[in-house]
Structure 1
Amino acid sequence: MNIYIEKDPAQNLWWVHMDLWIASFRSLTEAESFVERLSSRMNAPHSLGATGNNSLSPETFPNSQPLDQHAVSGSVKKLSHA
């Protein structure tokens, strides 16, 4: 999964991009904290027999939205890639 942070000066927001999903944050600190937590969870050991709701729909993350490829600007901070 490609994860990176982008500043949106027009809306005074920070966007965390996760492949085709994005989530907005009011500060760089909030965005970096989210990325750190997400990375630690992705890298944590997982059981193959785990059950539960693994749905990644927009309803699961109400502050996220599908990525508009044309809206991506040049102020991008690359954090990780797989």
Structure 2
Amino acid sequence: MNIYIEKDPVQNLWWVRMNQWAANFHSLAEAESFVERLSSRINAPHSLGAIGNNSLSPTLASNSQPLDQQAVSDSVKTLSHA
């Protein structure tokens, strides 16, 4: 992810840009604090496998069916045309 700070002199704001997303701040200190917190969270250790294997409801997990990719695709198409 590309993260950088830029000054907008017209609006007197500081922008933190993150790829296609941006957030504005009223001071450079606020922007730098945000970037520091964001960077620490991005660089923190993550264990997605452990999260994905935990079930909130053991009964639901034992009765669950495999994901039907075609049904998901059809649902997405329906939503995008709504």
* TM-score clears 0.5: yes
- Ranges of 4+ aligned residues in structure 1 off by more than 4 Å: none
The answer for unaligned runs of 5 or more in structure 2 is 53-82
TM-score (norm 2): 0.59
Point out the structure with the larger strand share: 1
Q: Which amino acid aligns with 1:17?
A: R
Q: Aligned residues, how many?
A: 51
- The answer for unaligned runs of 5 or more in structure 1 is 52-82
Percent identity among equivalent residues?
76
Structure (1 or 2) with the larger CA radius of gyration = 2
- Is 1:45 paired with 2:45? yes
Point out the structure with the larger helix share: 2
Higher relative contact order (CA 8 A, sep 6+): 1
- CA offsets per residue over residues 59-78 of structure 1, 9 Å max, x none? xxxxxxxxxxxxxxxxxxxx
RMSD over aligned Cα atoms:
1.1
Partner of 2:9: 9
